[in-house]
Amino acid sequence: MTGEAKLREQICLLAKSMFDRGLTGGSTGNISARTEDGGLLVSPTGTSFGRLDPGRLSRFDAQGRLIDGDKPTKEMPLHTAFYDTRSTAGAVVHLHSCHSVALSLMPDADEDNFLPPLTPYGIMKLGKVKLLPFFLPGDPAMGEAVRGLAGKRSAVMLANHGPVVAGKDIEAACNAIEELEDTARLAMLTRGMNPRMLTEAEQQALITKFDVEWDV
C-alpha cells in the first residue's frame, strides 16, 4: 500500500471513530491532510464522517488545484488558511461537537483563551484557543479570520458552530480536537460549581516543560 493510500484509509478510520462516538453527526464536519507531494486530501462536501470513501476524497495538487475525487467541503477557506499560515500544519479537522459549541454560547466565554484551565492536556495539546465570532457556514471570512491570527494559534472555536484544529499530522489533529471537546464538556459539567482551576503557576510550568505555543 502506498503512503497516500495509507493516509486515505487513516483519514476515513479516524473520521468514523469520531462519528461513532458522537463528536460530529449527520453530514457535519470536515477533515484534510497533507500528502507527501505537498497536496491535500479533503473530505467531500455533504459527506458523513461515518461513511467516507477513501477513493472519493477530494485530491488537490501542491498548487491547490482539484485533480481527483468529489467536490470538496465548502469550508476549504478554513483549511487553506491554516496550511498557509502554519508551516507545521499537516492536517486540519473541523467538528460540530456539542459541548464545545455549548461553551461558545455562554455570555462569559473568553474570546482570547476559550478553554478554562481545567486539565493539563487542554493546555499541552492546544495552547490558547481563539474564540471567533459567528459566520455563515462556508463564508470565506472564516478563513480570513484565521489568517488574521498570523499562524499564532493551532486551534480556533467558531461561535455557535464548532472547533477547528490544525496538527502536525492527522492523528495529532484528531487527538487535539478531541481534547478540546473533552475540556469543554468538563467546563459545562462543572459550570456554576466553582471548580478548582489550574493555578497560573501550574499553567506556566506546563507551558515551559512541554514547550507549549502560548500566544500572549
| DSSP track, 76-143 | HHHHHHHHHH-TT--EEEE---HHHHHHHTSTT--SSS-S-S-SHHHHHHH-SPEEE----TT-THHH
Among residues 9, 111, 121, 200, the one annotated as catalytic is 121
Query: The sheet that has 30-34: what strands, in order across it?
Result: 66-68, 58-60, 40-42, 30-34, 91-94, 162-167, 155-158, 130-132
pLDDT at residue 53, as a whole number: 98
Residue range 45-90, pLDDT digits in tens: 999 999 999 999 999 999 999 999 999 999 999 999 999 999 999 9
Q: Is 83 one of the catalytic residues?
A: no
Q: Which residues contact 150 (CB under 8 A, 6 or more apart)?
A: 85
Quick one: which of 68, 63, 47, 49 has its CA closest to 4? 68
| HSE (side-chain half, CA atoms, 13 Å) at 151 | 8
Instruction: Check pLDDT > 70 for residue 216.
Output: no
pLDDT at residue 140, as a whole number: 94
Q: Is there a contact between 84 and 143 (Cβ–Cβ < 8 Å)?
A: no
65 in any annotated domain: yes
Among residues 75, 178, 179, 181, the one annotated as catalytic is 75
pLDDT at residue 54, as a whole number: 98
Q: What is the phi/psi pair of residue 74, to 5°?
A: -70, -10
95 in any annotated domain: yes
Residue range 91-145, pLDDT digits in tens: 999 999 999 999 999 999 999 999 999 999 999 999 999 999 999 999 999 999 9
Residue-number span of the structural domain to which 188 is assigned? 3-209
214 in any annotated domain: no
69 in any annotated domain: yes
Between CA 156 and CA 135 the distance in angstroms is 13
Beta strand pairing status for 40-42 and 66-68?
unpaired
Q: Is 199 helix (H, G, I), strand (E, B) or coil?
A: coil
Model pTM score: 0.96
215 in any annotated domain: no
32 in any annotated domain: yes
By percentage, how much of the chain surpasses pLDDT 90? 97
- pLDDT-based confidence at residue 208 (cuts at 50, 70, 90): very high
Q: What is the CATH number of the domain that holds 179?
A: 3.40.225.10
- pLDDT-based confidence at residue 30 (cuts at 50, 70, 90): very high
Q: What share of residues in the chain are helix, strand, coil (percent, to 5)? A: 40, 15, 45
Q: Is 121 one of the catalytic residues?
A: yes
Q: Is there a contact between 55 and 8 (Cβ–Cβ < 8 Å)?
A: yes
41 CB-contact burial (10 Å; exposed 0-12 / middle 13-18 / buried 19+)? buried
Instruction: Check pLDDT > 90 for residue 215.
Output: no
User: What's the total number of domains in the chain?
Assistant: 1
pLDDT at residue 35, as a whole number: 97
Q: What is the mean pLDDT of the chain?
A: 96
184 in any annotated domain: yes
Residue range 138-186, pLDDT digits in tens: 999 999 999 999 999 999 999 999 999 999 999 999 999 999 999 999 9
